[in-house]
Amino acid sequence: MQLDFVAREVTIKLVYYGPALSGKTSNLQALHELAGNDTRGRLMTLETQNDRTLFFDLLPLTFRSKDGDVSLRIKLFTVPGQPMHAATRRLVLQGADGVALIADSRVSETQRNAESFLDLKQNLKDNGLELGKMPLVIQFNKRDLPNIRSDAELEKLAQRGREPVFKAVAVQGTGVIETFVGLLFLTYRTLDRTHDLSKRLGIQGEELVRTAATQLGVTTPIEELLGQKMGGNFDGGRPTP
């Protein structure tokens, strides 16, 4: 996070993590589509010839508080999912304020999802960060494909876990906003707790997140949006038994 008191700007870094081809870049593309011109910056993709992410994708989003006094700048990064880019993933994670793990819903990808999560844990550790303290949401993407893990199964597991879990079809834009707003909400709440953001900037933090959601074209109340999650919670604590 970067805080600029003169310009009254908060810049937050969010990273979309996950196994190769799970739809991290698709999530950014969908957000880019959904965001208005005032909000979105250009989506920068550093990719190889085969459309595979090489270093990262970067989508800058800028939200302004209702009175236009404070800017919330979000830098959305993706990591390259292929195993060989381990060093790049570790670098992109540096200074991350929140992470969304984009998992592939197909049964055949279960192992790779788990490996990616453990890779995330290890890379955070190598960067001196603790997974338990990192705002984290999980997205099960590609819900439209056959041979996926069932809703009932995900629901059951999500309720035993700590992280909010969202379902999505990123290429159709479904569930993308929910995941993003969920992550932003969780991240802002954590930063507010650790850095006293709202007080230092003299703003209503949750109001700012609410405004951000509106600028993404969300008309439903934010509580309803966050309620789309299956299990997990937004308190960063353990699930209630």
| Contact footprint for another protein (CB under 8 A) | 1-7, 11, 13, 41-42, 44, 46, 55-56, 58, 60, 62, 75, 77, 85-88, 90-91, 94-95, 101, 103, 110-111, 113-115, 117-119, 121-122, 131-132, 138, 149, 154, 157-158, 160-163, 165, 195, 231, 238
Structure-token pair, residue 174: 């479904």
Structure-token pair, residue 42: 């250009």
Using a 10 angstrom Cβ sphere, with 0-12 exposed, 13-18 middle and 19 or more buried, the burial of residue 196 is: exposed
Cβ at position 124, least distance to another protein in Å: 11
Contacts of 33 (CB under 8 A, 6+ apart): 173
**For residues 70 and 52, what is the distance between their CA atoms, to the nearest angstrom?**
36
By C-beta, is 176 or 191 nearer to another protein?
Answer: 191
- Give the 3-state secondary structure of residue 77: strand
By C-beta, is 221 or 227 nearer to another protein?
Answer: 227
CA dihedral (143, 235, 97, 59) positive or negative: positive
**For residues 186 and 88, what is the distance between their CA atoms, to the nearest angstrom?**
25
By C-beta, is 2 or 214 nearer to another protein?
Answer: 2
By C-beta, is 21 or 131 nearer to another protein?
Answer: 131
Partnered with residue 74 across adjacent β-strands are 12, 61
Residue in the structure block whose two tokens are 């920068």: 44
By C-beta, is 41 or 173 nearer to another protein?
Answer: 41
By C-beta, is 104 or 181 nearer to another protein?
Answer: 104
Cβ at position 91, least distance to another protein in Å: 5
Residue in the structure block whose two tokens are 């957000």: 31
Cβ at position 132, least distance to another protein in Å: 6
Phi-psi region of 101 (alpha: psi -120 to 50; beta: other; left: phi over 0): beta
